[in-house]
Amino acid sequence: MAETGNTGGRSGLSFTEQEALLFHQQGRPGKLEIVPTKPMATQRDLSLAYSPGVAVPVLKIAEDPSLAYDYTTRGNMVAVISNGTAILGLGNLGPLASKPVMEGKAVLFKRFADVDSIDLEVDTDDVDAFVNCVRYLGPSFGGINLEDIKAPDCFVIESRLRELMDIPVFHDDQHGTAIIAAAGILNALHLTGRDIKDARLVCNGAGAAGIACVELVKALGMPHGNVILCDTKGVVWQGRTEGMNQWKSAHAAVTDRRTLAEAMDGADVFFGVSAKGALTPAMVASMAANPIIFAMANPDPEITPEEVAAIRGDAIMATGRSDYANQVNNVLGFPYIFRGALDVQATTINEAMKVAAAHALALLAREDVPDEVAAAYRGNRPRFGRDYIIPVPFDPRLITTIPEAVARAAIETGVAKRPIVDWEAYRHNLSARRDPAAGTLQRVFSKVKQKPRRIVFAEGEEPQVIRAAASFAAQGLGTAVLIGREAEIEAAALDAGIDLKDGMVMESARSSTRTRAYADHLYSRLQRKGYLFRDCQRMINTDRNHFAAAMVALGDADGMVSGVTRNYSVVLEDVRRLIDPKTGQRPIGVSIALCRERTVLIADTAVHDMPTAEELATIAIQTARFARRLGHEPRVAMLAYSTFGHPHGERSERVREAVAILDSARVDFEYDGEMAADVALDPDKMALYPFCRLTGPANVLVMPAFHSASIATKMLQELGGSTVIGPLLIGLDRPAQIVPLGAKVSDIVNMAAFAAFDAAG
């Protein structure tokens, strides 16, 4: 296996064995580490975290075990446990060899659903010994994810542990796989116009995944008589004795077909949860029209999409791999299913929860996809259809959709110990887990939704702007006004598969009755600056930024967003011709950096190149006010390369003067400086200056100049793993936001929401 990863057809990924090994070896070997969530820096921290402080929660939990969810990691911790007897489709290679897979699953729990997880590899093939090992681990975990344990042992192990433990025990290869396959099959049947009651399915593989897949599709309505299960001995038929067990017997078919080839003749659907190459082109050729083929064996499928495409142009094809379209893989399930189960402290993961997850996944695939998904498809925005029957793992909507469906089902079936009361808050909490930006943005979005506004999207013919406008309207943030030629907007929308729905209107200089008023207004502002009326008329008629800004200036809209196709400074100049700063304020750019543990506002990241001391003071005042509006009590650091005079240098003078100006202005927020960024952000370093007036690490950083602001913000984003929103333009009398050139749909929506937030005052 010198070259792994299929390199033909739609496959875009390819890597060598060497690369796969290096990936696992480089840096810290393996794929995860444990990071403390509390400071462990001082003697006091140690006393609280360990002896004697730790005794307090110990005694509380001893009195009331439910408090373990409040004082320990238990409520968010899942163990991924295996004995390595069925590692992917590679067979019984033992517990140690299974560790890379189990570490991988643990990391995916964290990455996709913020579930903390640890892999445990148990060195026994003995069912009783395995059960005994796991059953006593209950106090450590909120859930148990069993992985890659061979059938039929896995059925016994899972059912015994479910009886013995009061937390969810879930065998991923059974139920995770079945849920995803069920979601995929619901959509594939829908697309091929079939009723589940009439479809005929052949499932090759009668192990953990096979039995569970067949059980779930039957639970969803496929008649028992329409399903044929196969294994290494061929068809599992009623009366067969060789290689049987009670789980296979339950699905044994009354049929005279004996081989997989015979079973496949005329079949509508194939599920492969067996081994590489188990399905031949001849078998595929014998299937019914519009065959549905899920070749889910890992790492290599039962048949490749290229092989199928060569003989059946009418097939819907899915594999378990990420390098083909339609990845039917349990990664779409386990992180989110456990998220929902943990969030309501479910005692189990029952059938209703699994069915809810399958339906939620199926429905999600039918919706318009966000940019992240388009990116995962290398720019080809997928649309519900034969090549997109199931969401992709990087779909950010999974975290809000699937856990909620699972949690609701848990509550409805009475297995939730801590039901959710406020669903809106729960959804916010879910999106914040995936994306730190979501929490802060949510506050803005919630406020805007209370009083939706009319926001102009100046570049209304651009597909991503139309998408953003559609999303803005669909989220109830307000009316989206698209500026552009009606026919062009409609054509672009059609091409992009977007409905121009309620809440979206089109406007252009040609069709508007207000064009003259806008030109008059612009002329009144520019006549003494060397412009003729016809210059102004031309600007309104031909330039969408001027037209949009005029709409906002004359109150025909509440705010505007632009910048996808033009440079920031050009758009700002256009906007400034029509919109003034607020009295006593100046337009400035504020970026919001959402870091893992904190949110920091950075200014001025857009407008002032080398602010004077007075301008720095104004930037501090405006940013502090904005921080309060976002719900952060400002602690403003006036940044420089020096801290309180050291090292001495002229360039810090302006910053020191700005502090003096703030002193005399008697502002109502905390500020200090000049100081270096590490002193501003690290309490230990700040403690070296006991006279510093900040009561904690700064959350507003006023930069000494544009170059340092821009460099620092971009480095934070690229190297620090922070999400940076902005720069947001504040200080204008009417809201206007400028996105970076080529901004993504989500950025445009966020900025439009900020324009609406700004309009709310």
Ligand X SMILES: NC(=O)C1=CN([C@@H]2O[C@H](COP(=O)(O)OP(=O)(O)OC[C@H]3O[C@@H](n4cnc5c(N)ncnc54)[C@H](OP(=O)(O)O)[C@@H]3O)[C@@H](O)[C@H]2O)C=CC1
Residue stretches of the annotated binding site for NADP(+): 87-94
CB of 88 to Mg ion, least distance (A): 6
3-state secondary structure of 672: strand
From CA 171, how far away is CA 79, in angstroms rounded? 12
Which residue out of 105, 248, 354, 744 is catalytically annotated? Answer: 105
CA 430 to chain centre: 10
> 326 in the Ramachandran plot: left (φ > 0), alpha (ψ -120 to 50) or beta?
left
Identify what 233 binds: ligand X, Mg ion, ligand PYR, none; CB under 5 to 8 Å per kind. ligand X
- B/e letters for 594-620, b = 16+ CB within 10 Å, e = fewer, are beeeebbbbbbbbbbeebebebbbbbb
Q: Which of 20, 127, 164, 275 binds ligand X (CB under 6 A)?
A: 275
Nearer CB in complex with ligand X: 271/388 = 271
Q: How far is CA 152 from CA 178, 246, 299, 520, in A?
A: 16, 9, 22, 81
> 583 in the Ramachandran plot: left (φ > 0), alpha (ψ -120 to 50) or beta?
beta
CB of 147 to Mg ion, least distance (A): 5
According to CB under 6 A, which residues from 203 to 242 bind ligand X?
204-210, 230-233
Q: How many CB atoms lie within 10 A of CB 325?
A: 22
Q: Which of 157, 227, 296, 662 binds ligand X (CB under 6 A)?
A: 296
Query: Tokens 């004996």 identify what position?
Result: 258
Query: Tokens 């439910």 identify what position?
Result: 66
Per rule CB under 6 A, count of chain residues that contact ligand X: 30
Identify what 431 binds: ligand X, ligand PYR, Mg ion, none; CB under 5 to 8 Å per kind. none
Q: Which of 119, 121, 173, 343 binds ligand X (CB under 6 A)?
A: 173
Q: Which of 273, 592, 675, 730 binds ligand X (CB under 6 A)?
A: 273
Binding mask 66-105 for ligand X (x = CB under 6 A): --------------------x-xx----------------
Nearer CB in complex with ligand X: 169/561 = 169
> 43 in the Ramachandran plot: left (φ > 0), alpha (ψ -120 to 50) or beta?
alpha
The stretch near ligand X (CB under 6 A) out of 10-18, 328-336, 587-595, 737-745 is: 328-336
Q: Is 391 in the site for ligand X (CB under 6 A)?
A: no
Identify each DSSP E strand in 58-217 by its residue range.
77-82, 116-121, 143-146, 169-171, 201-204
With beta carbons less than 8 A apart as the criterion, state whether 751 and 376 touch.
no
Q: Which two tokens stand for residue 456?
A: 């102009």
Sites of contact with ligand PYR (CB under 6 A): 88, 148, 172-173, 298, 320, 329-330
Nearer CB in complex with ligand PYR: 120/686 = 120
Task: Look up residue 536 and give its amino acid.
Answer: C
CB of 15 to ligand PYR, least distance (A): 18
With beta carbons less than 8 A apart as the criterion, state whether 729 and 736 touch.
yes
Nearer CB in complex with ligand PYR: 173/371 = 173
Name the closest residue to ligand X (Cβ).
Answer: 207
CB of 89 to Mg ion, least distance (A): 9
Identify what 370 binds: Mg ion, ligand X, ligand PYR, none; CB under 5 to 8 Å per kind. none
Annotated active-site residue 218? The verdict is: no
According to CB under 6 A, which residues from 243 to 262 bind ligand X?
243
For residue 175, give the DSSP letter. I
Nearer CB in complex with ligand X: 87/549 = 87
Binding mask 132-151 for Mg ion (x = CB under 5 A): ----------------x---
Nearer CB in complex with ligand PYR: 86/235 = 86
Binding residues for a divalent metal cation: 147-148, 173, 298
With beta carbons less than 8 A apart as the criterion, state whether 431 and 594 touch.
no
CB of 86 to ligand PYR, least distance (A): 7
List, in sequence order, the alpha helices (H) in 286-383.
Answer: 305-311, 334-343, 351-365, 371-376
Identify each DSSP E strand in 484-521 by its residue range.
504-507
Identify what 308 binds: Mg ion, ligand X, ligand PYR, none; CB under 5 to 8 Å per kind. none
CB of 182 to ligand X, least distance (A): 12
From CA 687, how far away is CA 465, in angstroms rounded? 48
With beta carbons less than 8 A apart as the criterion, state whether 589 and 583 touch.
no
Q: Which two tokens stand for residue 40?
A: 């462990």
Q: Is 173 in the site for Mg ion (CB under 5 A)?
A: yes
Lay out the sheet containing 116-121: strands in order across. 116-121, 77-82, 143-146, 169-171
CB of 249 to ligand X, least distance (A): 12
Q: Which of 320, 370, 726, 731 binds ligand X (CB under 6 A)?
A: 320
Query: Tokens 């100006």 identify what position?
Result: 661
CB of 334 to ligand X, least distance (A): 10
With beta carbons less than 8 A apart as the criterion, state whether 142 and 344 touch.
no
Binding residues: 87-94, 147-148, 173, 298
Reported as half-sphere exposure (CB side, CA atoms, 13 A), residue 649 has a value of 10
Q: Is 717 in the site for ligand X (CB under 6 A)?
A: no
Per rule CB under 5 A, count of chain residues that contact Mg ion: 2
CB of 33 to ligand X, least distance (A): 26
From CA 396, how far away is CA 379, in angstroms rounded? 16
CA 492 to chain centre: 27
> Judging by DSSP bridges, how do beta strands 227-231 and 201-204 pair with one another?
parallel
CB of 101 to ligand PYR, least distance (A): 7
3-state secondary structure of 38: coil
Identify what 328 binds: ligand PYR, ligand X, Mg ion, none; CB under 5 to 8 Å per kind. ligand X
Identify what 210 binds: ligand PYR, ligand X, Mg ion, none; CB under 5 to 8 Å per kind. ligand X
From CA 43, how far away is CA 528, in angstroms rounded? 69
Identify what 12 binds: ligand X, ligand PYR, Mg ion, none; CB under 5 to 8 Å per kind. none
The stretch near Mg ion (CB under 5 A) out of 166-174, 198-206, 371-379, 424-432 is: 166-174
Closest by alpha carbon to 114, among 69, 80, 77, 143?
A: 77
Catalytic positions, please? 105
Which residues contact Mg ion (rule: CB under 5 A)? Answer: 148, 173
Which residues contact ligand X (rule: CB under 6 A)? Answer: 86, 88-89, 150-151, 173, 177, 204-210, 230-233, 243, 273-275, 278, 296-298, 320, 328-330
